[in-house]
Amino acid sequence: MRRTNSPSLQQRLTAILALLTVAPAAGLAADTRFGVDAALTHDNNVNRAAYAGEEQTDEILAVEGYAARSFRLSNRSGVVVQGGLRLREHREFGDLSNLAALGRVAYRFQPSPGYTGAWIELAGTAEALRYRDSELRDGYVQSGSVSVGKYFTDRIRIGAGLGLDEREGKEGALYDLSTTRAWLTLDYRLTPGITVYGSTTWIQGDHVFTASDPATQLQLIPYADVYVPDPAFADAFGGVPPMAYRMEATTMLFEIGVNIPIRVNQALDFGASWYDSETDQGGGKYDGTIFRIGYLYRFR
């Protein structure tokens, strides 16, 4: 349910900026890095349609600039503080274009020394979102996670983690979402520079589905916590906004990709993701595929 005493979006933005200025005790060695990531993605079910005949495709251009600073706490532990801005521009559904302010703090320690010694990471993130013309989606996201990772050889790295994500919408309760996720990752270095990677993620909790088909709507309504019209997709349905439903559901997400350096501080990243969601009750489903081409630049 919506939290009436939650901090305002302005307070969230202030908190994110505070993350960027808080540093551990003076005297610790620090290293600041800057970078820009750009990605073009194609999503064949951007509206998360529960009825296959209503799936809409879109291309999204995202550009993110960030600064990260590392603090070494001991021979086996350290903290990374990162913040930045991200712009996403949708080609077909411009109302979904958005600007985000991002902040992240991560603490990592390695119980046993050595290159193949496992590490443990505790991380927290905060994200403030403003959409071009979709107040339903304006709001913030905050997340916490714990993960472990290990190099088994100089080519193979495996990781696993568990996280909790909380999102609150500024207008209404459709995007008041709470989800739990668990993931496994595998990186394999083909050459000293080229890395292929894959992951699988399980997500359980609040999801948003859309539907205009009357039979699908009747199927979803009895099990929806919230259902409201979503004007962002009205143009695709003759000016009539489809209904959006917040429901308890489970998603499986699979990703594969390859990272190819083109210079010392630049790389190309190609990836594909497949997602499949199903409601806990009522039989609602959606699935889709995302293809991504990315360019990564690190300032020296």
d(CA 7, CA 16): 13
d(CA 293, CA 267): 11
d(CA 174, CA 2): 9
- Alpha-helical segments (H) within 22-171: none
pLDDT at 73 over 60: yes
CB-CB neighbours of 52 under 10 Å? 12
> Could you give the angle at the alpha carbon of 3 between the alpha carbons of 232 and 98, nearest 5°?
30
Question: Cα 36 to chain center, whole Å?
Answer: 17
d(CA 97, CA 214): 28
What is this structure's pTM?
A: 0.86
pLDDT per position as a tens digit, 79-117: 999 999 999 999 999 999 999 999 999 999 999 888 888
Query: Which amino acid is located at 51 in the chain?
Result: Y
Structure tokens at 243: 């209904």
pLDDT per position as a tens digit, 201-239: 999 999 999 999 999 999 999 999 999 999 999 999 999
Domain segments of the chain as ranges: 73-81+101-257+270-291
